[in-house]
Chains A and B, each alone.
Chain A
């Protein structure tokens, strides 16, 4: 790969006390491509994303975005970098105290790129991109269904036109049809923005729909990476067991009897 990866992780490690969550993670994410990180519950997926975003400091290793080591950036440069990143959290993480339109335009308002009067129009535009009516903007997040909350969270993630978007289990808790709708919206939004997408999921249907590339993390290590098209027939025993949902294989669930 000659082009500089959009995101390059090298030797990323993180422990919480005795518990090792990430152990020397190496991973490249190609610019304007969609990477899907697969892994079971507790495999370190969410911690990895939080380390990339700087929400959790890694113990060692490097996180490079556009060739810049994020941990060496000054506070201002790191803030400027975060300005270019969008994130869709697993449960939406919408702000309960604000109406939907203010949630959607929160970043634009925080950066003073827009007035409060203009924010309603901008929110309506972003909501339309995820298939929601402008009137939804006047509701509070508590009044929305799970699927609508995900769509609003997606609208918030794309409203500031980021060039990297992270998706944390975007279809978790949704029915299969709504999951497919959200995946379709993610693909459309990422393509429209020309952004790089990094998703973490254990929903294989979703992974196949939204991913160009895929990687598998197990016990804090990347055990396989390759094309998302090959999921289920990668030749890697762990990745194939996970993708095919097989009980027998190298990955053993730790069950107490």
Chain B
């Protein structure tokens, strides 16, 4: 039996950075996915009663199909349980502990054939980060959380937003965004093609731009891998199936810094979609990058 790989997103950030607030938003947001969210502090999950289908000591089930549960002492055991769950959720979200190295967790999604990498989102508290950044006890691990992120979200940045954004940009190469200003976050975090649902707005959100290709272009594995290396840096997500030159086909997935190429069934055409933040991505740049690819 072959199932689609389960994408996993890791939410990192120090104590009080706003991870739970983000999770509360994602659970309630209208993204059309059955999320499974694993949290450290169950008590802090605050879901509108109207959205709650049932709840027990360590699991909340929402009317939109999402599930939120506590993680036991063994994170990887919990990931294994999520994979064994039937029906398998559409997307797994792990809330890392305040000090965790998110890369070590997210790496499991790259290693495990039944999973796919869904990115690392690091949440930073604007009020506390400048002080923590000067604390020798803790700063190296918190800086690493920022360095490993595919997306950095700032909370409560207030007047210090500009210097903080500058500092965070120095620590890594991920986009740094104000969490408050970001709407329809699921689109960015979970990919651009949620299953269509009746009544769901179809128009893309103005904060994002996308680019797509459908055509006869074929590339072999080596060419794809070389080409992905030079993709425009503003591409946050990209996925599709590229037909190979020898009857094979390759599924590609890009999330932030991470790329994956897996063998796929050839389709009648090569198809590719890319998504990024309007402030960082020019679709023309993607078009140039793609058309420069030798056929």
Bound together: no
Query: What is the interface of chain B, defined by CB distance below 8 A to chain A?
Result: none
